[in-house]
Amino acid sequence: MKQLSERARASFGQPIGELMARALGNPELISLAAGFADQSTLPTNLIQQVFDGVFADEPTARRALQYGTTAGDPLLRQLLIERLLSVDPGLSAADHVTPDQVVVTAGSNEFLFLLADALLDPGDIVLCGSPTYLVMLGILENLQAVAWGVNTDENGIRSDDLHQVLDLLQRQGRIDRVKAIYVVSYFDNPGGISMSLERRQELLDVARAWSARIGRTIHIIEDVAYRQLRYEGEDVPSIRSLDQSGQQVVYVDTFSKCLSPGLRVGWGLLPPPLVEPIINLKGNLNFGSPHLNQMILQRFLRDQLDSQHVPTIRQAYREKLEALETAAEELLAPVPGVHWHKPTGGLYIWLGLSPSIDTGPQGSLFDHAIEEGMIYVPGEFAFPNQGEPRCRNFMRLSFAVESPQRIRQGVEALSRAISRTLDEYRAQV
C-alpha cells in the first residue's frame, strides 16, 4: 500500500500478539503460550504501599505527576546502578557503571527498539541464538535488518560456531554489516538456557577479537530479563561484568518479569559512545517514560522491597516449573521424539517433537491443541531468517500464567493433541 513508509511495510504484527489476543479472547483455553506474569504473584499490596508513600508527601506526589527527564529519574538510575553493583560484585563505577550510562524506558522492549534503531541500517546484521527472543526478531524485521541464527547448545550460543559465521560473513564481504550479537544470557526465551560462565567469556573474546579485526565495535546486547527468576543454583556474573572496558556490552534489564509488567519499567546500561544517540532518539520518541511509574519503582528499590518480593515469585514459579516438568515427564516424555532441556529458571520449556510433526499454525497439531483446550507458541516464530535452519518441530511452553493444576491439564490436552496428530500421520502413511 503506497500510503505507507517502507518500514511500515516491513513491519508485520508480532505473531505472539495474535496468540495473546487469542488466549485472552477465550478464558477457558489453558495458555502455555503467554509470557505474562503469574497473576497471583503481582504485588498489589507492595505497590499500594509504595504509591501511598509517594503520595503521602504533596511535593513528591506532584513531582511524580510532572514530566521527568528523557534519560529517566536520577535517583532511580542511581538505585539501578547500586543494584547492579550488588549482584555483580566484580563490577565497579570505574567500569563505566554509573547513572549517566543508564537510560530508563517503558519496558526493556522500548530499550531494545531504541538500541537497534541507533545501531542498524537496513541490511545490517545481528547475530543471535537459534532460536531467540521472537520480539527481538520483530524489531529487527521492522528495521529491515537481518537476524542471523547461530548454533546454540545447553550452555548458550556456541563461540566456535559464532566464529565460523563471522568468518563466512567476512568471506562474503558482509562483515561490515555485522553490528551486534544479541543474547538472552539468563534462562533464555524460548530455550530456557542460561549461558555458562565459560561461554560468556568466550563470547566476549570473540566479539572483542572481531571488533579489533574490523576496527569497529561489534556490540554484545545482553538481555537479562529473567536474571532474577532463578529456581536453583547460584547467580552467574553477567557478560557486562566481564567487560571492564565498558565498551563492548549493552546490559538490558526489565522489571516486567520480576515485579510487574503493568508498571512497565525497563532500563539499560550503555557504553559511553551510545548514551547520547539513544537519548536523542528517545527525545524524539517520547522525551521520557512515565515519571509516575519511575517514582514508584524508585521507592520500591529504595525500601528494598525487591528482596521481599523476588523470593515469593521464585517460589511460585519454581512450583509451576515442577508441575510442568512432572506432567511432561509423565505424559510427553514417552512419546517418540519428544525431548527438552530442563531449565533452572525463567518461564519456559522448549519442547522438541519428532521432526515429522509441524507445530506451526499451518500444521494440524496447533489446531488440535486449541480444540483440546490449550495453546502454545509454535517454535518456528523464534528462528532467525538467516543462518541456522528454522525448525518446525519445536514449541515454547510457558508455565508463567496458569496454576499448577491447569498446567497439568494443559499438558494433558497437549498430549491428546499430539496423539491425534500422530494418528493422522499414521493413517496417511
Contact set for its own copies, span 189-218 (CB under 8 A): 216-217
Specify the residue for cell string 544479541. 182
**Of 36 and 340, which CB lies nearer to its own copies in the complex structure?**
36
Does the CA dihedral 133-156-229-319 come out positive or negative? Answer: positive
Q: What is the 3-state secondary structure (H, E, C) of 86-98?
A: HHCCCCCHHHCCC
Minimum CB separation of residue 193 from its own copies in Å reads 23
Q: Which listed range, 120-128, 236-244, 326-334, 381-389, lies at the site for its own copies (CB under 8 A)?
A: 120-128
Cβ pair 184, 133 in contact under 8 A: yes
Mask of contacts with its own copies, 88-117, x by CB under 8 A?
A: ------------------xx-xx--x---x
Entry field: residues in the chain: 429
Q: What residues from 289 to 348 belong to the interface with its own copies (CB under 8 A)?
A: 289-293, 295
Strands 219-223 and 178-184: parallel
**Binding-residue total with its own copies (CB under 8 A):** 81
* Least distance to its own copies, CB of residue 354, Å: 32
Position 372 contacts its own copies (CB under 8 A) = no
Largest CA distance in the chain: 74
The only residue of 94, 171, 234, 284 in contact with its own copies, by rule CB under 8 A: 284
Choose between 66 and 356: whose C-beta lies nearer to its own copies: 66
| Residue from 276, 329, 330, 371 binding its own copies (CB under 8 A) | 276
Return all residues near 427 (Cβ < 8 A) that are at least 6 apart.
none
CB atoms within 10 A of CB 258: 19
- The amino acid at residue 308 is Q
Site string for its own copies, 143-182 (x = CB under 8 A): ----------------------------------------
> By CB under 8 A, is residue 264 in contact with its own copies?
yes
257 lies in the binding site for its own copies (CB under 8 A): no
Residues 202, 204, 209, 210, CA torsion sign: positive
* In the complex, least distance from residue 207 CB atom to its own copies, rounded to whole angstroms: 14
Cell numbers at 254, concatenated: 526489565
Listed residue (6, 265, 238) closest to 110, CA to CA: 265
Interface residue with its own copies, options 92, 245, 280, 385 (CB under 8 A): 280
Is there binding between residue 61 and its own copies (CB under 8 A)? yes
* Closer to its own copies by Cβ: residue 9 or 342: 9
* Angstrom distances, CA of residue 84 to CA of 55, 213, 268, 423: 28, 31, 11, 52
Q: Cis (ω within 30 of 0) for the bond into 336? A: no
- By CB under 8 A, what part of segment 10-49 binds its own copies? 11-14, 17, 20-21, 24, 36-37, 39-40, 42-44, 47-48
